[in-house]
Amino acid sequence: MIAASSEIVARCDFDLSQLCYQYPEEAVLPGMTAQQALEKLTWEGARRNYPEGVPEEVSKQLGYELDLIGRCKYAPYFLTVNSIVQFARGQKILCQGRGSAANSAVCYVLGITAIDPTKFQLLFERFISEERREPPDIDVDFEHERREEVIQWIYKTYGRHRAALTAVVSRYRSRGAVRDVGKALGLPEDVTGALAGQIWGWSQEGVTDRHVAELNLDGSDPRLALTLHLARELIGTPRHLSQHPGGFVLTQDRLDELVPIQPAAMLDRRVIEWEKDDIEALGFMKVDVLGVGMLGCMRRAFDLLRKGKSIDTDLAGIPLDDKPTYEMIQRADTLGVFQIESRAQMSMLPRMKPKELYDLVIEVAIVRPGPIQGDMVHPYLRRREGKEEVDYPSPELRAILEKTLGVPLFQEQAMNVAIVGAGFTPGEADALRRSMATFKFTGGVGEFRDKLINGMIANGYKSDFAERTFKQIEGFGSYGFPESHAASFALIAYASSWMKCHHPDVFCAALLNAQPMGFYAPAQIVRDAREHGVEVRPVCINRSEWDCTLEGREGEEGEGAPSASACA
């Protein structure tokens, strides 16, 4: 029996690298390969976006991207995302790509993203790099309430045997570990709750003897000592699987021949039992179908504009240089708008005084734990206000940091500083970028400290500048934005501000209809609208509809008559 067992073991030589993943052969134009179809759609989109002629810079960038996409054989992936976006637009579901995909001119002219990367000088290699050979990752935000329509369309189009959502491995943090271990060892719930309450945030230290002493608990209780020990051991270990918000894995053949699949807790959904890092390591491509509540609000606003004021526009039709909108933002009159409505953002806006869209890109990114902990906020503000001179230690770093006044606010800048200033290879810079990924434990950047500081000193930079640069980059480990992601969010922030500035009645009604979302209760939204001259009428059993809508004022007729928001 032992010999037979050894023979079986010897035959079990499976390795994950043996999995042969194939991306679906996307339906293409008749008689064309996927690459040819993508090129045709791209140039058609370019002529549509630039009706007066495609600029030479854009044409050159599109040619470069298409060539790289062709060499990497990623064309079917782009066609898939394009088909999803086109389906959503056909159903009048508002959507917009974000994340590193906003670095791509191809994504822009196809209408997947709304940011022109050539205007913002965004780095395409942050999205796709032939050296890294990583699958592209395109995130598309849809209206939160209608995202399920898109998800079910994907299942219907590709079949449930070829499509499933990725999993998310939820791991123990300090509080949860103390609660679960204490419960298993029989500690009273009030004791474990008090112990968990002593821990702040993402602490990896766990509960210590000092916490026990502060609570005046009996430290000699063996159950308590064992709870503290085992809880510290559990921090970072997997606790359970949950489903990714919208990351789809699609295959040419059966997906269950590659990865185990289980039914999701939600109806009509299936989840693979691997998380996104697993499938990325194996070269599986993922399509992210995500949700943003403000997109649903804006779609309602455009519908109300069309129906109540005969104004037919969309996100692309909003002028990006509207002075009254920026003046409103500078006053921090941003209750209810996207991203810049929090108290922290409102306190920053009068100091930042945004005058153009890129100012909002910085505003969206700077009020985050990463820049704050990395001591980037005050130096940037002092330089913007002219209270501190901007000093660039070298022309190379000036080229990287000039648009943010010498402060590395974005992940892409941190990568370039590491390459130019410290001699990192592109692969090492990408590893640094990975360690700065959001929503992960802090401290991952620390392993690069010596190499970064020593590399900058070796290249002639002063040690205090190198230390300060590392401290700033280390802040990204808490929460740092990619520039392209901030640009996509800034566009929605501006669009919602424009709507509030020029059509406060429409914005109020749309925001109420999109609840629950944002920082503010409906009563606060209504009070703010009244302060902007909007008449908000009470519910009327005879006239009110299910949602809030617009009504003309008494005695006023015609399309140009002022409107009021009527709460249903």
Q: Are strands 261-263 and 238-250 parallel, antiparallel or unpaired?
A: unpaired
d(CA 332, CA 334): 5
Q: Which residues pair with 138 in a beta bridge?
A: 287
Phi, psi of 533 (to 5 degrees): 85, 10
pLDDT of residue 560: 42
pLDDT of residue 394: 86
> What is the side-by-side order of every strand in the sheet holding 137-143?
95-98, 137-143, 286-292, 238-250, 163-171, 270-275, 261-263
Phi, psi of 206 (to 5 degrees): 80, -175
Answer whether 409's CB lies under 8 Å from 380's CB.
yes
d(CA 421, CA 415): 10
Residue 358, token pair as written in the block: 């890129």
pLDDT of residue 553: 65
111: left (phi over 0), alpha (psi -120 to 50) or beta: left
d(CA 330, CA 162): 49
pTM for the predicted model, two decimal places: 0.81
pLDDT of residue 287: 86
pLDDT of residue 510: 94
- Measure Cα distances from 184 to 177, 179, 192, 232 in Å: 11, 9, 11, 15
CA 407, 108, 420, 410 dihedral sign is positive
d(CA 332, CA 347): 7
Answer whether 402's CB lies under 8 Å from 419's CB.
no
pLDDT of residue 276: 80
Q: Would you write out the chain's pLDDT as a tens digit for each of its 568 residues?
A: 788 888 888 888 766 666 667 788 766 778 888 999 999 999 999 999 999 899 999 999 999 999 999 998 899 999 999 999 999 999 999 999 888 888 899 999 999 998 888 887 777 877 887 776 777 888 899 998 899 999 999 989 988 888 888 988 888 887 788 888 888 877 778 777 777 777 765 555 566 666 666 666 666 677 777 777 787 888 888 888 888 878 888 888 888 888 888 888 777 888 888 888 788 777 788 888 988 899 999 999 999 999 989 998 888 889 989 999 999 999 999 999 998 998 889 999 999 999 999 999 999 888 876 676 667 788 888 888 888 888 888 888 888 888 888 888 887 788 888 888 888 877 777 777 776 654 444 445 667 788 888 888 888 888 888 888 887 777 665 566 778 888 889 999 999 999 999 999 999 999 999 988 888 899 999 999 999 999 999 888 888 888 899 987 655 544 444 444 545 4
CB-count exposure of residue 105 (10 Å: 0-12, 13-18, 19+): buried
- Measure Cα distances from 508 to 513, 530, 552 in Å: 9, 10, 15
pLDDT of residue 216: 62
